[in-house]
Structure 1
């Protein structure tokens, strides 16, 4: 665990010593809350006399943000390269941050007042706006019944393009999880098409995530008959070549509690509007917190499991809590929750080639890996290209999820590493979990002011790009052949995978847990003849290796940093630049900025540094207690970089900085050489297996199996 955050006090050293560093293999890390929070801190929170604030804690490194999460405070998960936002309920919360050596700036000085103002703004907008520019025309947040009505309405109006969907499991409280399938001949689920899956509300309080998901369903269907030929043609290409599945509310129980709660607006224990988790009751819940209902119980909103920490992929590692009352509680076992398992089954039974799980908030497009120690995904170039393309439309930051902080058990990490389908989390907006509708839904979806994406396209265009990518043959795999009428072609495999080494509540680390997945795609040959089944690659990314590249030239020679004349006053800053070369002169896998200064006391003399890339965005920072500060920049693009030096404490002519930039070759790829295969089988109407083939197919490839219903006819 990093202990590098600014101003590391002796009190903080004691606190850090109480945390246990876990192994990094398979993404193990320190659990949220371990050693510092046994659940009592959050359970003690009520609507106290103290004014509730939101603060941005200064945490420029991923390790720093992970440490903030570990303190057991109420972390909003809104983070960026400068820090992470935390809800301070009282003076005790503030003291915890101080004792740990963190500083912060206040972003919301009275959360209750802001929440009430947002509520008034929503009421005014709904009262004064007859119809918004959204595809549905909505002017206010939906209730759960509204979602059901809208899905029923679309299914009724577009009967050949839609198929109502109920996921395999009911929720903890027995509710069905509803969705809608959208495609040409939508009811033919065995059509072999690739699938784009769009989901919302894994976290109950994140209402815009469900709104955006529902709006895209309206968008697709209305566009199919649009008067504008370009709009109409685009929708018809998407729906004829792929299937779109929308599940607006995954966490039905939690959402109904959050949406129907009496507003308090203070994030306290009994502020059910801010419920995040589902309604399960952990086996670890103390007896005094049992009883009551999900919407009214002794533990308030804190009972339940964080569904986006419960997926089996790398479950049990860093970035999720083993403490039952934590907002990021991972659940009692990998994939233990019926809602999580329902999504797993859906993805396992369809060729989901692109998946987006919508959340709020941070203006981010996140891609695997979600844990730094996992290493870059073998499909990093493809994942990044699509993520960047979506971010260009919604003006969000596109990055690997681990660059925010470690997160184990997330949806896209399981989906990608096990099935090979490209997976993303989109964090909508930057103003809160469900801020004013006009901003968080209308503006962010359409790309209208005050959203940062005004004039670009917004999430509306980002989703269209994702749907088109799902149908892109170069981004998944295909199996083709021929079969007589009345046969069913099944493409399947059964796999066993390990979780992370499992971090225990006391901080110790146990062995990984093995879990099983069965992936199945089917195609029905109603008329016989040739068929094409779109699938993900046969070899799971989990076993394929890790991304890297071989150098095409030596790395660049060391570049000294020129310190400007004079020294800025404490609190002031100065800047200098350096050049990064590209091919054919140099092939740089990393640029390593190292800056030091003479000092006898790390708290008396201290400099902070930020590196800004050629496009004007930050690419790294050093704002710790370390001397030298070292900033590693992966795959630096050629151009001019700016180093901003902040005189944090005691910088003077005697304690001025010097530095240099060294360069390293890129990491080579890790190619395991292991290949997995799909089992392709043909069955008749009685279910009798007539023939099978084992097929190895990579991303972008098409493999022929001939007449799989007849032995000995295999052709590549």
Structure 2
């Protein structure tokens, strides 16, 4: 441990960094006066970043702690970034924007504002960061109402509620029993602790791409025998793409505790699922942004009006500049500073008044990147980034998913009470698997948490999101959970939730607990749901359900590496530039997963289908003719009564004097005509004029708009020199009326109706996995193509190309692998030892000594492979064994090995080995005890400190070893002993 002091030169951000040659180090910044933690870094490895807020003159202690390793020195640097007292400070507010139709929703999402990503019938909610954002809405003629005038005030109240909750409740109902939101250091430390305390079922993982501020994105894998590459299907549960969405990290973290606690408590449901599936939890995808938001939240709660935990009681005035700007707590994006820059810094950007820079990670995924619902500029709150997968956060998820068979994925967000599935664009229609389990899984999870299950575009069109890429590229079912809505919108007739009236990005902690537990009104009232806890269980059960994915199985040499690969080009959307569609880009996608064949040579690999959903569905249609010729028209703010419109300041005026109307025909397809889409567009000279448009279908063909004519499109942008409406199939051919309202125009316009042919026909295609059988060193021995569908299992036959010995040198490769993963049979059976295993050792010490991955752990049995073939089983006390024993006897054997037996032919006991004849055994033992248990006949004999055990069947010894002598002194005790792990016998 090492310490040094630092005095903050100004009020603002303090960032400490540690670099060492090796080992695992942690770093903390503490206030010298109070001892409270200002910042911390506890990730895996020898590199740490810790940043937080400090007041001018505040004295800090930097403390570095080496948890493991031998490095004696570490370099620590400290930087301070002052908050500019003259930086523009504006209030953040939450508003509800009227969006009566899909066109208006699209226009709103293309303004680059901070979408709250939730809404209801006829509205979406938006976070406004100051007057300029409000002006954007007014210029685009959006009507809006204010839901929360000052989000900083709302958060102050929420954090005060958190303090009261923590004082009132010592332990919450969560699996971790926490009572307050975690910091970034809390997440990394807790994941590290879970892995250290549960090495058999939890393994730490570090993703390869460091963030702009130099942090490592971390997670944990959870399953039975976690170190084995065993072919189980994978459930990925992750959170906090958006920095301010704190519950999105809490829920997956609690899910990790749910599994670990349940496994240790012998919960049969948890144990069953952990034996059949692997869970990966990455609670914080965007650690830079989250640390900035979470730190600002803590500072705001302790500032003027909060009165809790100020850095120094006498320095509250010094942090007014820090607390006065609420934008930092509501950061959405990552910490990129400028396009193509290799560095980024949330602290520096915020200090300079540049809180809006950065990339929205959930618009940066490659699938459909660059289309509607994502911003084009770096100050847009939904900025998509300079290219697909340009950001370290999304590169990490791409790497994680591409190297595992992730059959189920949940990315957690806040706050709409929604479960969203692809696609993000309405024009793509239903996903290929909509009725093959995809929708059913979303609906089943929604039945537990009370959320609304729907396709992504049913909220509004978005592109570059997580599951649009992950599902399209891998076929694994992907969902977005929008957690938390305190006041849902309920349909009065059906009683179903149809929207969200009120919610919060990080509500009081007690509300977050209710969401996980299922104690919210909508979860409990109508469907007796069990919250996100049960929703995650349903997701894990679906992961383990082979009907929802594919399975290949067969046999291969022990130690061989099986590899499934697929490489392809993924397409983006037509990239929007200045609101206009341009080129479609392509990028390389590579899926590469491996499985290590175990000691038995048998394998079963749960995988995703070989054909990607992106190409599994027919797109477009064969062209049946030519598009109709274009139609030209024009209008002006003056002129003849039938063609003149005076300014009204109303985008939707019904008075004839304020609008022009243009009637045109959309021909039916056939007879050489083929229109898949038509576009109506008007243009004028400058942005000083403002025309607005609506498109009506003339239902009765009378040439005028009346009550029976439906509105089929709207365009009311403002501050542009054009308006445009497009309608794609299926549409109704016939007569249409295009109304042009003069909002504030003095210039004439010209217009066209253009018709487009269907997109090129792309028939559905089938793709295949490339499966190789390799030596442990990576030399491919055989390759084959595997075509496999969802809900399909296929046997794999490598034939003579991948024989039992795949090494060119008589199996040395497989032997080398066996030495790394299996127990050596040397030492034989002596005293209390069977090879390296021994009776009376505690289970933890036995595992440390053996240092080999277990083939299986269940009901007190650890099973290992043995070099040369066969297995060794170490047994520990179970409830059935302890039943009827005295407390003293139970205490004597508690957690200690009472059994060690093996099927390996390398072990000999009384000159007998596995395979010896039973009659030979009886001659050698003389005076043995014979006991039938189930289908096996056991022979036992006494030794000085142990009981010799031989399991026979069909005239031959099948297993031999040692048992606890005290527990097998009588025949009755021996029977109970042999049935302690299974009523049918060992």
TM-score, normalisation: structure 1: 0.72
Among 445, 466, 474, the residue aligned to 2:547: 474
SS in 1 for 2:241: coil
**Pairing 1:309–2:363 present:** yes
Question: Which residue matches 2:332?
Answer: 276
> Which residue is 1:502 aligned to?
575
1:76 aligns with 2:76: no
Q: Within the alignment, does 1:461 sit opposite 2:527 as a pair? A: no
C-alpha displacement of 1:163: 0.7
Q: Secondary structure at the match of 1:197?
A: strand
Distance 1:534 1:341 in 2: 24
Deviation track 1:556-586 (CA, whole Å, cap 9, x = no partner) reads xxxxxxxxxxxxxxxxxxxxxxxxxxxxxxx
Partner SS, residue 350 of structure 2: coil
3-state SS in 1 of match to 2:89? coil
SS for the counterpart of 2:254 is: helix
Counterparts of 1:205-604 in structure 2, within 5 Å, are: 205-226=244-265, 232-261=267-296, 271-283=327-339, 293-294=347-348, 296-381=350-435, 382-430=437-485, 431-439=503-511, 441-449=512-520, 452-453=523-524, 455-504=528-577, 506-545=578-617
CA contact (8 A) 2:356 2:379 kept: yes
Paired position in structure 2 for 1:154: 194
| Unaligned segments of structure 1, at least 5 residues | 1-43, 549-592, 610-620, 635-669
Verify: 1:182 aligned to 2:231, yes or no.
no
1:398-436 superposed Cα distances (whole Å, 9 cap, x missing partner): 000011111111111100000110000000012111111
Give the drift of 1:94.
Answer: 4.4
- In 2: Cα distance, 1:703 partner to 1:203 partner: 41
**Structure 2 SS opposite 1:513:** strand
Supply the distance in 1 between the matched residues of 2:281 and 2:534 (Cα, whole angstroms). 16
- Aligned partner of 2:779 in structure 1 is 688
In 1: Cα distance, 2:152 partner to 2:347 partner? 25
User: Quick one: structure 1 residues 219 and 451, their matched pair in 2 at CA, closer, same or farther if it must change by over 3 Å?
Assistant: farther
Cα deviations by residue, 1:525-567 (Å, 9 ceiling, x for unpaired): 131422111110001110110599xxxxxxxxxxxxxxxxxxx
CA RMSD of aligned residues (A): 3.4
Distance 1:108 1:485 in 2: 63
User: What residue number does 1:644 align with?
Assistant: none
- Aligned partners of 1:148 and 1:92: how far apart in 2? 38
1:419-472 deviations in Å (ceiling 9; x for gaps): 110000000012111111110x20101011456456411111111100111111
Q: Which has the higher contact order (CA 8 A, sep 6+)?
A: 1
Contact 2:106 2:461 in 1 (8 A): yes
SS in 2 for 1:532: strand
Report the alpha carbon displacement of residue 225 of structure 1 after superposing the two structures with TM. Answer: 3.1
Q: CA offsets, 1:353-389, max 9 Å, x none?
A: 0000000111000000011122221011221110000
The alignment partner of 2:580 has SS state of coil
CA change 1:623–1:334 in 2 (3 A) is closer
Which residue matches 2:106?
A: 66
Output the CA distance in 1 between the equivalents of 2:591 and 2:697.
47
**Displacement of 1:111:** 3.1
Which is higher, the Rg of structure 1 or of structure 2?
2
Counterpart Cα distance in 1 of 2:699 and 2:764: 43
Q: Distance in 2 between matches of 1:457 and 1:292?
A: 38
Structure 2, unaligned runs of 5 or more = 1-85, 302-321, 486-502, 621-695, 717-726, 731-760, 805-986
Q: Where is the strand percentage greater, Structure 1 or Structure 2? A: 2
**Kindly tell me: are residues 109 and 254 of structure 1, through their superposed partners in 2, closer, same or farther at Cα, counting changes over 3 Å?**
closer
Q: 8 Å contact 1:89–1:268 — kept in the other structure?
A: no
**Residues 357/329 of structure 1: CA separation in 2 closer, same or farther (3 Å cut):** same
1:501 counterpart SS class: strand
Q: 1:268 to 1:474 in 2, by over 3 A?
A: farther
Distance (Å, rounded) in 2 between the aligned partners of 1:73 and 1:150: 35
**1:47 is the counterpart of 2:89:** yes
CA contact (8 A) 1:272 1:295 kept: no
Hey, what's the Cα distance between the residues in 2 that align with 1:380 and 1:235? 28
Q: Report the TM-score when normalising by structure 2.
A: 0.53
Change (3 A) 1:685 1:711: closer
Equivalenced residue count is 562
**Separation (CA, whole Å) in 2 of partners of 1:350 and 1:489:** 13
Q: Deviations over 1:36-72 (max 9, x none)?
A: xxxxxxxx99434xx6542221214333222222234
> Are the counterparts in 1 of residues 200 and 225 from structure 2 also a CA contact under 8 Å?
yes
CA–CA distance in 1 between the matches of 2:614 and 2:379? 31
| Alignment pair present for 1:702 and 2:823 | no
